[in-house]
């Protein structure tokens, strides 16, 4: 099992029950299948994937299978801990989103009708997708993704990130650091707090952001 050893059995079982046993019914034509964007926070040399189980519930897949795929494709160790996933390296939101999209297209979306109403089953060591909407059944063809350069994270103007304030600047802005960046966050209040902020400007390694 990929799950972290420090996580209590009770909390993990509760999450599994919600994600697997209480799966939603087959979607009607009027419903949209929308996978939430990953919510991450960089803390030191690790990346915290905060809404992992929210995504698991939407795609209706086993958490261990989903996590094992992400760890393999991202080329990093990680674990489930306190209802979140902790990656042992820095992963950008863009890279993580791309890997999640690839997983969904490979292990969730029916290749015949394009709907997400599928079950993932294993037959003779081969993963099969069974579609509850059109009845199709096909072997999974896993696609190979390029390994990300996880040691470098790119911050982009207009995007929202979570930052941990390390100190307060002379002008009252919070200061966070994600090498090679130094981020000045307007609206931060004190060192040690974790804030969500939208990047307004990136000038080399100097970044400005506003708390949201």
> Which domains does the chain possess?
9-23+34-139 (3.30.30.170), 160-211 (2.40.50.140)
DSSP assigned state of 204: T
Query: What pLDDT sits at residue 201?
Result: 94
CA proximity to 95, closest of 142, 151, 53: 151
Tracing tokens 């490979």 back to the chain, one arrives at 106
- pTM here is 0.60
Lowest-pLDDT range, 11-15, 96-100, 113-117? Answer: 11-15
Contact (CB, 8 A) for 130 and 118: yes
Mean pLDDT across the stretch 48-60? 95
End-to-end CA distance of the chain: 37
Examine the pLDDT at 1 and tell me if it is beyond 50: no
Mean pLDDT across the stretch 148-166? 77
Query: What pLDDT sits at residue 17?
Result: 65
Beta bridge partners of 84: 81
CA angle 200, 74, 47 (to 5 degrees): 50
Instruction: pLDDT band for 29, please (50, 70, 90 cuts).
Output: very low
């Amino acid at each position: 099992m990929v799950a972290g050893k420090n996580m209590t059995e009770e909390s993990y079982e509760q999450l599994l029950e919600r994600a697997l046993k209480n799966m939603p019914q087959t979607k009607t034509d009027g419903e949209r299948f929308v996978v939430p964007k990953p919510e991450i926070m960089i803390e030191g040399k690790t990346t915290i994937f905060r809404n992992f189980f929210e995504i698991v519930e939407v795609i209706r897949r086993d958490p261990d299978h989903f996590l094992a795929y992400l760890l393999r494709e991202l080329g990093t160790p990680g674990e489930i801990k306190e209802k979140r996933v902790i990656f042992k390296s820095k992963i950008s939101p863009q890279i993580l989103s791309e890997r999640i999209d690839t997983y969904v297209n490979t292990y969730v979306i029916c290749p015949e009708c394009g709907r997400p109403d599928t079950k993932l089953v294993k037959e003779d060591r081969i993963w099969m997708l069974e579609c509850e909407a059109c009845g199709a059944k096909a072997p999974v063809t896993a696609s190979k993704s390029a390994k990300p350069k996880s040691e470098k994270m790119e911050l982009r103007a207009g995007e929202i990130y979570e930052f941990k304030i390390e100190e307060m600047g002379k002008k009252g802005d919070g200061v966070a650091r994600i090498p090679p960046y130094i981020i000045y966050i307007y609206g931060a209040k004190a060192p040690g707090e974790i804030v969500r902020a939208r990047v307004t400007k990136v000038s080399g390694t100097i970044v400005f952001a506003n708390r949201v």
